[in-house]
């Protein structure tokens, strides 16, 4: 099935569903992504948190009042979570802890969601592993 992407709060119209169907699901090619340019500051982003290993910046198409992406500065084969190996354990833990730091900075420690889309069936669109940190509104379950 095609990956449906809707603006926050919107319901799919017939046209939007048709457009979503027309858009082929992206697959993991291993090519550099737009996130490399964000890491290198070649294109601007709204940085929320940064340390030696991790960068967190606001999603350009927010799905909640708070929507921050947390990424490893070095991709090291982590195009998607499906590609994770035992050697990635340390950076995976650092990313998850950075998500908690972001939630605290954004004032949403009382309730927030961390999402990783892995692969076309999960609507992953950028193949550089990233955690979505979402909050600032009631998050519903199940996700779409
Ligand atoms: O769909 P997945 O889970 O792969 O998440 C990728 C996320 O990257 C989406 O939520 C996009 O909105 C977000 N994204 C894409 C671009 C971008 C961005 N967030 C911040 N800045 C961005 N720039 C400058 N360019 C993008 N193409």
Confidence of residue 16 (pLDDT cuts 50, 70, 90): low
Q: What is the mean pLDDT of the chain?
A: 90
Q: Is the ipTM of this complex over 0.90?
A: yes
How far is ligand 1, taken at its centre, from the CA of residue 82, in Å?
19
The structure tokens 């009631």 sit at 138
**Ligand 1 atom closest to residue 123's alpha carbon, by position in its atom list:** 1
Confidence of residue 112 (pLDDT cuts 50, 70, 90): very high
pTM value?
A: 0.90
Residue 73's contacts (CB-CB under 8 Å, 6 or more residues apart) are 39, 52, 53, 54, 55
Q: What is the pLDDT of residue 22?
A: 41
Contact 61, 134 (CB under 8 A): no
Show which residues are catalytic.
130
Q: Is the pLDDT of residue 108 over 50?
A: yes
List pLDDT tens digits, range 54-105.
Answer: 999 999 999 999 999 999 999 999 999 999 999 999 999 999 999 999 999 9
Is the CB of residue 125 below 6 angstroms from any atom belonging to ligand 1?
A: yes
Find out whether the peptide bond into 120 is cis, omega within 30 degrees of 0. no
- Here the tokens at position 117 are 């889309």
Is the CB of residue 33 below 6 angstroms from any atom belonging to ligand 1?
A: no
């Amino acid at each position: 099935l095609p990956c449906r992407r809707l603006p926050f709060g919107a319901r799919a119209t017939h046209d939007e569903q048709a457009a979503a169907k027309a858009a082929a699901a992206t697959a993991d090619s291993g090519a550099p992504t737009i996130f490399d340019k964000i890491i290198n500051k070649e294109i601007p982003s709204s940085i929320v948190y940064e340390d030696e290993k991790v960068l967190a910046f606001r999603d350009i198409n927010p799905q909640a009042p708070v929507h921050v992406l947390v990424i490893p500065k070095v991709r090291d084969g982590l195009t998607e979570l499906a590609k994770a190996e035992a050697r990635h354990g340390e950076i995976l833990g650092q990313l998850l802890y950075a998500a908690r730091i972001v939630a605290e900075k954004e004032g949403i420690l009382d309730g927030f969601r961390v999402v990783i889309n892995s692969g076309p069936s999960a609507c992953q669109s950028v193949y550089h592993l990233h955690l979505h940190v979402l909050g600032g509104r009631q998050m519903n379950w199940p996700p779409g």
